[in-house]
Structure 1
Amino acid sequence: MGGKVIVVGALNVDITLAVDRIPVVGETVISSQVSRSSGGKGANQAYAAARTARTAEVAMVGAVGADEAGDAQCAELGRAGVDVSRVRRVAEPTGLAMIAVDIAGGNIIVVAPGANAAPIDRRTLEFRTSDVVVLQLEIPFEQVRRVAKHARSAGAYIVLNAAPAHASAKALFAIVDLLVLNEPEAVQLLDVDVASSAELSAAAAREKVDIIVTRGGNSILMAFGSDGSVAEVPTHQVAVVDTVGAGDAFVGTLAAALAEGHTLNDAVSRACAASAATVTVHGARHPELSESLIERMALAAATPKRMPQLNPTIAKEHS
């Protein structure tokens, strides 16, 4: 595509608590360690895009508070190579996420939006046909809808990571080009059994959108709205430390690869490598994430069966 990656979404401070297990309702557990870092789905995706891009420029659109946390957010993204000139400073405090991570790397997250709820300035929404626009659902839904419509009218390629999932997201399916979901989100929004290639194929054809379903350490499923074909990409087998940010690393790396003209198959392979690298460290952002790191991981994992087809009658590349 040769365009820019423009991520529109949330910027948060992450406060992460390490616990032996995730508490149930009414239970108190003791954390063995507390850490503070930068986060927010949008900001994490912009970070991954910038760190893994070869040539694509990456810009972040969002809002932070006029506080130290906002300064830190913008500074970290800037160091990663993200253009933060479209990040507004507002009166509300910078968004905050409280995260509990258990010994197996699983997590629960509670987010206080803060500045992320501030209206987006239309002047920051300048899109071109060559751009890849990345959206999530951590900012108010009506803002996401407005951005999606604006990007569509400009002819940009739109990636929607429909997380956190809620039913209203279905209204965006007809606007976006690529829908990225994890298994629970796919069940909630598409009403499919993700183990069934036929159901996923039918959903893609019905919604007329390309769909990617991430399945943790199992595999990545892709279903194409144009012809209903379904493909499976194996994931990397790594020692999991912390799953926070793995999906964001996937989406950001995917967007950067698409902006640079990679096919969707190749972009997914690169995104798998970035996601796998991210789960091997604590926090949502791998400090050494780079194009060279994911290429080394992708090369190490490559096999003659890199792209087994769930539908053996379809074996063509999709761009």
Structure 2
Amino acid sequence: LRSPESHDTIIELLKHAKKGAMKFFDINLRGDHYSKELIEELLGQATVFKINDDELFLLRDMFDIRGTSDDNACRWFLDTFDLDYVILTGGASFSTIMSKTGETSTINTPRVEVADTVGAGDSFSGTFTGKLLNGATLKEAHRAAVNTSAFVCTQEGAWPTYPEEGIPDYCQIINGE
């Protein structure tokens, strides 16, 4: 959304999404290519908001929600923008997914031998979305997303060949199942 043309195109496409469609906003703050107004506009369109811990730190100041825990800040976004899910990633530490129903899943980031992190975030997002849309529970979708992202990190490049026997289970759950 760095140019007026791409902004207008994406907003127009969002207008044509089916009612009730999942609309995933992975914020990816880069340089000075964002504003509070743009973020509010996109959050108003989204049903899922993915943010990392560094981005959350910046948004706390922007939205005047300083002095609160990560969980409370994420819940603020969930409630304020009527989102279905907020996904908070903490890099090499953890990921947490909160739902508007109050369900939360937190998983430690697996320790793997990292070959390349390119594609890890997108593989997480795609797996989470695909699993949810195919009927998985929040915890099942989260676990699959973490495992896929960990596997991608063990491979060179963003599009690895996936093993026929399936992706290994790397997860160590913090809460829940």
Task: Give the TM interval when normalised to the shorter protein.
Answer: 0.7 to 0.9
Measured in 1, the distance between the counterparts of 2:60 and 2:98 equals: 12
User: Which of the pair has the greater relative contact order for Cα pairs under 8 Å at 6+ separation?
Assistant: 1
Match of 2:89 in 1: 214
Q: Would the aligned equivalents of 1:219 and 1:235 in 2 still touch at CA under 8 Å? A: yes
Task: Using the TM superposition, name which of 188-197 and 213-222 deviates more.
Answer: 188-197
Match of 1:188 in 2: 58
Query: Does residue 247 of structure 1 match 2:121?
Result: yes
Q: C-alpha deviations, 1:49-78, integer Å up to 9, x for none?
A: xxxxxxxxxxxxxxxxxxxxxxxxxxxxxx
Give the secondary-structure state (helix, strand or coil) at the position aligned to 2:154: coil
Higher strand share: 1
What is the 5 A alignment of 1:159-178? 159-164=24-29, 166-167=34-35, 168-178=38-48
Determine which of 147, 150, 153 is the counterpart of 2:13: 147
Query: Does residue 293 of structure 1 match 2:166?
Result: yes
User: Structure 1 pair 204/190, CA: closer, same or farther in 2 (3 Å)?
Assistant: farther
Structure 2 counterpart of 1:175, which letter? Q
Q: Would the aligned equivalents of 2:110 and 2:171 in 1 still touch at CA under 8 Å? A: no
Count of aligned residue pairs for this structure pair: 166
User: Structure 1 pair 270/141, CA: closer, same or farther in 2 (3 Å)?
Assistant: same
User: Structure 1 pair 232/280, CA: closer, same or farther in 2 (3 Å)?
Assistant: same
Q: Would the aligned equivalents of 1:212 and 1:221 in 2 still touch at CA under 8 Å? A: yes
Q: CA deviation at 1:277?
A: 0.7
Give the secondary-structure state (helix, strand or coil) at the position aligned to 1:222: strand
CA RMSD, Structure 1 to Structure 2 (Å): 3.0
Match of 1:71 in 2: none
Task: Using the TM superposition, name which of 170-179 and 274-283 deviates more.
Answer: 170-179
Higher helix share: 2
Measured in 1, the distance between the counterparts of 2:166 and 2:59 equals: 33
Kindly name which structure, 1 or 2, has the bigger radius of gyration based on alpha carbons.
1
Q: Would the aligned equivalents of 1:249 and 1:285 in 2 still touch at CA under 8 Å? A: no
Structure 1 counterpart of 2:26, which letter? N
Q: Would the aligned equivalents of 1:246 and 1:275 in 2 still touch at CA under 8 Å? A: yes
Match of 1:13 in 2: none
Query: Does residue 257 of structure 1 match 2:131?
Result: yes
Residue ranges of structure 2 left out of the alignment (5+ in a row): none
Match of 2:147 in 1: 273
User: Structure 1 pair 274/204, CA: closer, same or farther in 2 (3 Å)?
Assistant: same
What is the 5 A alignment of 1:41-120? none
Q: CA deviation at 1:308?
A: 1.0
**What is the TM-score with the length of structure 2 in the denominator?**
0.76
Q: C-alpha deviations, 1:135-183, integer Å up to 9, x for none?
A: xxxxx222222222321x5332222222245231321212221111222
Measured in 2, the distance between the counterparts of 1:270 and 1:146 equals: 32
* Identical-residue share of aligned pairs (%): 23
Measured in 2, the distance between the counterparts of 1:141 and 1:187 equals: 25
Measured in 1, the distance between the counterparts of 2:58 and 2:15 equals: 23
Residue ranges of structure 1 left out of the alignment (5+ in a row): 1-112, 120-139, 310-314
Give the secondary-structure state (helix, strand or coil) at the position aligned to 1:141: helix
Give the secondary-structure state (helix, strand or coil) at the position aligned to 1:200: helix
Q: Would the aligned equivalents of 2:79 and 2:100 in 1 still touch at CA under 8 Å? A: yes
Q: CA deviation at 1:288?
A: 2.3
Measured in 1, the distance between the counterparts of 2:22 and 2:126 equals: 14
